[in-house]
Amino acid sequence: MIKPISGFSRLNKKEKIDWLAKTYLIDRPEDVAILRQYWNEDSRLQQLHDEFTENTLSNFYLPFGLAPNFLINEDLLAIPMAIEESSVIAAASKAAKFWRTRGGFRAEVIDTKKIGQVHFNFFGAIEKLEHFFEVTKPKLLQAVKSITHNMEKRGGGVLNINLNDKTGEIANYYQLHCEFETKDSMGANFINSCLEKFAEVFQYEAQQFADFSPEEKDIEIIMSILSNYVPECLVRAEVSCRVEDLNENKDVKGEDFAKKFIQAVNIAEVEPFRAVTHNKGIMNGIDAVVLATGNDFRAVEAGIHAYASRNGKYSSLTHASIENGIFKFWIEVPLALGTVGGLTSLHPLVKLALDILQQPTAKELMKIVAVAGLAQNFAAINSLTTTGIQQGHMKMHLMNILNQHKATMQEKEILTKYFTKHTVTHSRAVEELRKLRNS
């Protein structure tokens, strides 16, 4: 029977691995060797990675690739992407090439407002609480001056504080709903520090407020935390061209392509089963850039999917139309991103990614990320409504199949050439590899 371990976090890395080997990897020295195989040879760089999180044993690598030829607001950019899925970077690059000769992508930031909340219980009359809030609000803003000083010098800070009555959902439950501008930082630590100070001062001032009864003075703070739902931190990206200019495939007229494409988008707007997969493809592009630039892709995912459900049903993030002979395809997504702080100043590849993007501001990065999502979606719908998704995807996936079966470089070269003229399936790839080896 395996016994619990006490003080695991205090062990050094070698001791952690030794414990793992003796407890869960008995007689599996090859597994222990894999952990060491992925250590960085530069000890300083390895220590940096070790200190990003807790109880580290090794590094988990993702491919770091590049999608070139993105014309965004007249600037030609190459977009770094960190992702393990086959065909994502190829699809994004293909979409970038297609739209570069048709005016490129246009993107604009609509707003950059971020949200945090102090959640609390109040046991008394709402009218008294509203009066107390109006009296106390200036004191809350004054209390965070030491925290907001540097942010305000950059043009950011606390934008507003509102009192929300949520007693219709939970008895006695209220919020301080706070709005922030954090400029080029994602701002999580800044927002949370302000919120905790708001909560502290709000609770203290309630104790001193003469109009409150003893019960009303006893405001109960539940928690103070930023929200990853940022529906007003919004960016829009779009492409457009004349319908006849969509004639990439000589066998498909531009008008026919556009109508079928728009119906595919319309289906994702009304059918949640399709919308989830549709939006997942968008997130292939968005997450890959968010991860490459050291931002929090889990926060971005949560906020975007909540936004996709804002009207009561999960729906497409992209939309398409034809007006006066012009085909238009666009996306609006909430993106809380940063280009300073966090991993952006620590992780060498993150710093490189931002250099490749010409050191963008947070607003510029929002535009780039939205464009990556739109490009990915265009490529996916293009494939789905013409050749089918599997033709291109399985050819890109071929190398994974061959690696899984330990194909040599010569075998890979022969089979890659063979499958340029044949349909790729897993079973067909394995069978052709078997035939090649037997011959």
Residues assigned a catalytic role = 85, 280, 296, 393
- Phi, psi of 361, deg, nearest 5: -75, 170
| Closest of 133, 187, 182 to residue 159, by C-alpha | 182
Judge contact between 184 and 118, C-beta under 8 A: no
Q: Which amino acid, one-letter code, is at 280?
A: K
Question: If residue 380 lies in a helix (H) or strand (E), which one and from where to where?
Answer: helix 362-384
Ordered DSSP codes for 90-141: HHHHHHHHHHHTTT-BEEEE----EEEEEEEE--S-HHHHHHHHHHHHHHHH
CA 314 to chain centre: 18
Q: Which residue has the tokens 């919120």?
A: 195
**420 to 290, 398, 408: CA distances (angstroms):** 33, 11, 18
Q: Which residues contact 169 (CB under 8 A, 6 or more apart)?
A: none
Phi, psi of 20 (to 5 degrees): -60, -45
Q: How far is the first Cα of the chain from the last one, in angstroms, to the nearest whole number?
A: 51
DSSP string, 333-361: EE----SBSGGGGT-HHHHHHHHHTTS--
Place of tokens 């490749």: 356
Pairing of strands 114-121, 234-242: unpaired
Chain centroid to CA 362: 14
Query: In the numeric block, which tokens belong to residue 228?
Result: 């990853």
Q: Quick one: CA dihedral 301, 241, 95, 248, positive or negative?
A: positive
* Closest C-alpha to 222, from 295, 148, 153, 171: 171
Helix (H, G, I), strand (E, B) or coil at 240: strand
Beta-bridge partners for 329: 239, 320
